[in-house]
Structure 1
């Protein structure tokens, strides 16, 4: 049986989106678009800082990115990002942080086509 956490990593939490935006599809579409165009590219900064083992910067960037992940309904990824932030603040080993980062990045990359598809549906 697959790990339930890995299954949920690339799914959109529609219940959370409805709670946050009260079913306002225009607002959801706007946030999806902003996330894809402006926020998604910034995740590369986290990987760069992990490579440099610059833990204070990793913690700062992940903390800054956390709300965005939640605002587009990527709840499971939000939890992974919180873990990375906590690991960076605790000065965990690079390999430990890289494992969590790899899981997050895989889920994020799998989520992008889903968000793009939803954006098309919401704006058609």
Structure 2
């Protein structure tokens, strides 16, 4: 298993969730549901773009997905995904793009259970 970046967090950013959703449990639950049931699939599209080194699609999908990370409390992943987008836009080496994706994806995979647990807690 690859090492995690030093700034990796192991919990959802509840302060950010409160800033975005306030006391509205139903709004947060809608965001969590949409992320887990609809948006998460788009990360597979992004992964395919990384594998094929389709820089335009990496930039477009990454830009589309960044806000969703904050909306569900994965604030620390926003920065990582922005870095991937920047690499794609700057025409960086394909190895750098792939590595950036692998670090991001590993952390995302470890955080999904926390998002699922938050959804269960709110239900």
Instruction: Give 2:65's aligned residue.
Output: 65
Instruction: Give 1:120's aligned residue.
Output: 120
Q: CA deviation at 1:3?
A: 5.1
Whether 2:13 is the aligned partner of 1:5: answer no
Alignment deviations for residues 27-86 of structure 1 (CA, whole Å, 9 cap, x no partner): 111110110000001101111111111111110110011111111110111110000000
Instruction: Give 2:49's aligned residue.
Output: 49
1:17–1:23 Cα contact (<8 Å) kept: no
1:1-124 alignment runs, 5 A limit: 4-6=6-8, 8=9, 10-123=10-123
Q: TM-score if structure 1 supplies the norm length?
A: 0.91
- Figure out how many residues of one structure are paired with residues of the other and give that number: 120
In structure 1, runs of 5+ residues without a counterpart are none
Q: CA–CA distance in 1 between the matches of 2:6 and 2:104?
A: 14
Alignment deviations for residues 11-30 of structure 1 (CA, whole Å, 9 cap, x no partner): 21100000111121111111
User: Superposition RMSD on alpha carbons, in Å?
Assistant: 1.3
In structure 2, runs of 5+ residues without a counterpart are none
